[in-house]
Structure 1
Amino acid sequence: MSTMPTPAQAAARAKRILAAIRADPEFGAFEAATLEYSSDWQCFTGFPVIERWNLDSDKAPLFAEGLRALAVKAAVFDLTGDERLAEVPVAVPVDEMTHAMIAQPQLLARITGRIGVSVIHQTDQEHTDYTAGDFTHLAYRLAWGEPPARYWLVKEEVDRRVQILTARYASIGMDRAGREHDIEFAAA
């Protein structure tokens, strides 16, 4: 089994990975395709945990944060070769953005192929238990400074906000935090 790199090692490698992704000739197409995917963003407990969430004003900053998260994960994988170690904790809203990025598989595969890195993300292994002071937070701070608290919400705060959202959704007939309803569309 591999050992986890230090946050400093991951940060240095993540900065290089992010710079290479941004320098790729297809980066603009990748960004445009990811942001266009916004009409399909239907998670009720991912992006909506952001206070006063607004798709138009939040999608570009979240795209930047998603790239940074993928770069940290790719850096850990690059340094260890271990997919499980590379699944570092990521804040829920940022994780949702990575899903939009991964929904552009051809562009992402060509970009990562050209720069020689692997993007690691597997839902059954992901960790959305990000918290201040954890590995991801330390590596991020060393690479880019303090992560924006608007998007990098710690797990306890996400859980609290999901409870609020779940109650609000239930009040309009959306059960299981928006994953179920009993609306009969023919009757509406």
Structure 2
Amino acid sequence: MTEVVMRPAPEEVAARAREILAAIKEDREFGAFEAATLEYSSDWQCTTGFPVIDRWNLENDAPPLLVEGLRALALKAAVYQMTGDENAAEIPVAVPVDEMTHAMIAQPQLLARIMDRVGVSVIHQTDQEHTDWTHGDYTHRAYRAAWGEEPPARYWLDHAEVVRRRAVLAELYDSIGLHRSGREHRIDFATV
């Protein structure tokens, strides 16, 4: 039996998420946090997250993805603050946006200090996350209510489309010897 997750109305979450995001951006360390997150690029090597974006380019796509990742974290923080339920706060997020939240969470000291001053918690646990975002779902409705616009389709890819694109990538990776989408190869570096 599937567990039913109770969440506040998207409009209620949206109002709090706007406040949270504004406070994050006004924090005295936000500039350092932003710079550190965008500098994380040398470690952004996930082969199934960002590469699902058409004509992905780290330098061009990272800044707008930072905006989307912050919006996702603000929505999640708002749900958690309103419910106290970590499971409820793990709202569906599109795969590329989720990847950006990982880059943000990789700045733990800065992020923790900012969130402490803002008075909210960052909710993210890989085995609990939901990257099955779809157009019209709870997250989509809360996003539209919060920011008065559609999530950018370039980054907010429906789950079914991500699955399709990952299959394309897996076939391409396999053709060059990167098996299981880059989780395995048989390269012996001593002989290459």
Q: Please state how far the C-alpha of 1:3 moved relative to its aligned partner.
A: 3.3
Q: Is the 8 A contact 1:76 1:86 kept in 2?
A: yes
Equivalent pairs, count: 188
Q: CA RMSD in A?
A: 1.0
1:63-109 C-alpha deviation (Å, 9 max, x unpaired): 01000000000000011010000000000000000000000000000
Q: Structure 2: which 5+ residue stretches go unaligned? A: none
C-alpha separation between the residues in 1 aligned to 2:6 and 2:99?
27
Of 174, 184, 189 in structure 2, the residue corresponding to residue 170 of structure 1 is 174
Superposition misfits of 4+ residues, deviation over 4 angstroms = none
C-alpha separation between the residues in 1 aligned to 2:81 and 2:36?
26
Of 86, 89, 108 in structure 2, the residue corresponding to residue 86 of structure 1 is 89
Q: What residue is the counterpart of 2:131 in the other structure?
A: 128
C-alpha separation between the residues in 1 aligned to 2:5 and 2:59?
41
Of 3, 14, 19 in structure 1, the residue corresponding to residue 17 of structure 2 is 14
* Aligned residue type for 2:6: T
Alignment of 1:28-177 (within 5 A): 28-144=31-147, 145-177=149-181
C-alpha separation between the residues in 2 aligned to 1:85 and 1:38?
30
TM-score (norm 1): 0.98
Percent identity, please: 71
Q: Structure 1: which 5+ residue stretches go unaligned? A: none
* Aligned residue type for 2:124: H
Q: What residue is the counterpart of 2:190 in the other structure?
A: 186
TM-score (norm 2): 0.96
